[in-house]
Structure 1
C-alpha cells in the first residue's frame, strides 16, 4: 500500500492537516465508488487522503497552483537548502541573517533561477517568519531573512498523487464538467476570504466566495471555511431575511485608497443614498 500522508509534503497555506483524521471519518459516509472532485486542490492533501481511503473511487485533483511542479523539483530544492544551510551555519537559530549573507543567498537563488525552477514558497519557510511566503525572488528581496533553515531534506514523494487524475483549470470549468454526473462528491476548500495568501495564485473577494455557494445546492459536498470568513453566519442571516434584497442597489459609491505600509494597502468605501 502507498504511504499515507496526513500533511502536505511541502509548505502550503491552508492545507487541511488538522482536519485529516475527521475528514477520513466523513469520507466513510460516501460510496466507495464515488467520483470525488477536488475543486480547489491546493496541496492535494484532500485528494491524497481520499484516494488512500477510497481505493475504488475516482479522484480528480484540480492543481490550479501547480503544486506538482514543486513536488517534481524536491531534489533541486533540497540541494539549494543544503547550500543555504552551509551559508548560515554561523548564524544563531531563529535570529536575523546578516545582510551580507542575505545578499549571498539572493545571488545564489538568482543563478538557480537562470538554470531552472526555484521553489520560493518552500524556501520562504526556511528564510522568513512562520506563515510568510513569497512567490518570486523580487518579493523575497524585500523581506528580512531569519535563520529558520530546515535541518533535513524534504523526503521524495513520488507516490503522493498516485492514482489521482490531475487537472489544472478554473474551478467553474471543472464543476461544469462533473455537475451532472451521478455519484459525484465535490471537495470544496476555497482560498481564504479577502486575503492574498502567499501560496495561492489569486485574490479571493467576497463575491468570489459567494459564487462558490451556488454549486453546493442539491449536491454532495464536503465544504471547508473558517470563522474568519463569517460565511455561515452570513448565510444564516440571508435565510432569515429573504425579502430584504440589496440595500445598496441604488446607492452611490466613493472609494479612497489607503496604505498601511510599503506592501499592504486597502480601499475605504463610502456608500450614500438620498431620498428620490
Structure 2
C-alpha cells in the first residue's frame, strides 16, 4: 500500500511538514485507540494514523468535502491534460499569453457546465504559488502561469480503512468525548491566517476560542502555526485570570 507523505491533491495547511514530529509523538499512543480527526482537511493526518496503527479506529471528518475532489480525479486529470496541450509551447513558470489564457478558460467553462470542477487543484496548475480560487468567476480574474503538472494525480487507497464523516466538529466531539482513551486530532484553521479555501471561508476569534473547550481533560494533538497567536493569547489569559491554559 502506498504511504502518503503529502495529500494527493493540493490543500492549504495539509500538515505534510508536521508528519515527522507528529509520528514521533504518536508512537506513545495506543495502537488500538479511537482517533478522531475533528478538522479533517485533506485527511493526511487520519491517513498516517491508520498507516501507523492499522488496528486503530480513525474517524476522518471530511467537513471540506475533500472526497468530492478525490472522486473527481479522473475528470481533473482529463482537464489538466487538455491544458497541458495548450501550454506546450509556452515557457515554464512564466506568465501565459492572453490568447492561451482565453483558450484555457473556454476549456474550463465547458467542464464547469458539465459538472464539478476542482478549482483548487486547477489553481495549483495555473496560478502563482499558494494562490487558490474556488470558482470560474474568480479564476478568470487571475493571471495565469505555466505551472502545469506533468503527471496525473492519483489517490489510490487514500481513504481505505478510514471512517469518513462530515459534520460540525462540535457535534463530532460530543459523540466521542466520553469514549475511554479517545484521542482527538485538533487542527482548526489558523488564527490570523488565510482560510479562503475552507468551507465557511472565515473564522472569527470566538470560533478559535470555542475550539479550546474540546481540549479540557482530553487526549489530543493540537496543531498551530507561528503565524497564529492562539497559544500566546492562552498564556496571557492564564496569567491575568483564572483561565486554565490547555497548553
Scaled by the length of structure 2, the TM-score of the pair is: 0.95
1:185 and 2:183 correspond = yes
Q: Could you say what secondary structure the match of 1:61 adopts?
A: strand
Q: Could you say what secondary structure the match of 2:113 adopts?
A: helix
Number of the residue aligned with 1:134: 133
Instruction: Give the whole-Å Cα distance in 1 for the aligned partners of 2:143 and 2:193.
Output: 21
The equivalences for 1:52-91 within 5 A come to 52-91=51-90
1:197 and 2:195 correspond = yes
Instruction: Give the whole-Å Cα distance in 2 for the aligned partners of 1:198 and 1:4.
Output: 29
Bigger Rg, which one: 1
Q: Could you say what secondary structure the match of 1:59 adopts?
A: strand
Kindly indicate whether the alpha-carbon contact (under 8 Å) linking 2:96 and 2:145 is maintained by their aligned counterparts in 1. Answer: yes
Kindly indicate whether the alpha-carbon contact (under 8 Å) linking 1:34 and 1:58 is maintained by their aligned counterparts in 2. Answer: yes
The equivalences for 1:71-150 within 5 A come to 71-150=70-149
Aligned residues: 242
Q: Could you say what secondary structure the match of 2:226 adopts?
A: coil
Instruction: Give the whole-Å Cα distance in 2 for the aligned partners of 1:192 and 1:243.
Output: 25
Cα drift, residue 104 of structure 1:
1.2
Instruction: Give the whole-Å Cα distance in 1 for the aligned partners of 2:196 and 2:11.
Output: 8
Kindly indicate whether the alpha-carbon contact (under 8 Å) linking 2:193 and 2:227 is maintained by their aligned counterparts in 1. Answer: no
Instruction: Give the whole-Å Cα distance in 1 for the aligned partners of 2:46 and 2:5.
Output: 11
The equivalences for 1:1-276 within 5 A come to 2-154=1-153, 156-202=154-200, 203-242=202-241
Kindly indicate whether the alpha-carbon contact (under 8 Å) linking 1:194 and 1:205 is maintained by their aligned counterparts in 2. Answer: no
Coordinate RMSD, CA, aligned:
1.3
Moved over 2 A (4+): 194-199
Kindly indicate whether the alpha-carbon contact (under 8 Å) linking 1:50 and 1:59 is maintained by their aligned counterparts in 2. Answer: yes
- For 1:131-183, what per-residue CA distance to the aligned partner results, in whole angstroms no more than 9, with x for missing partners? 010111111011111111111111x2231010000001111111111111111
Kindly indicate whether the alpha-carbon contact (under 8 Å) linking 1:38 and 1:61 is maintained by their aligned counterparts in 2. Answer: yes
Q: Which runs of 5+ in 2 are unaligned?
A: none
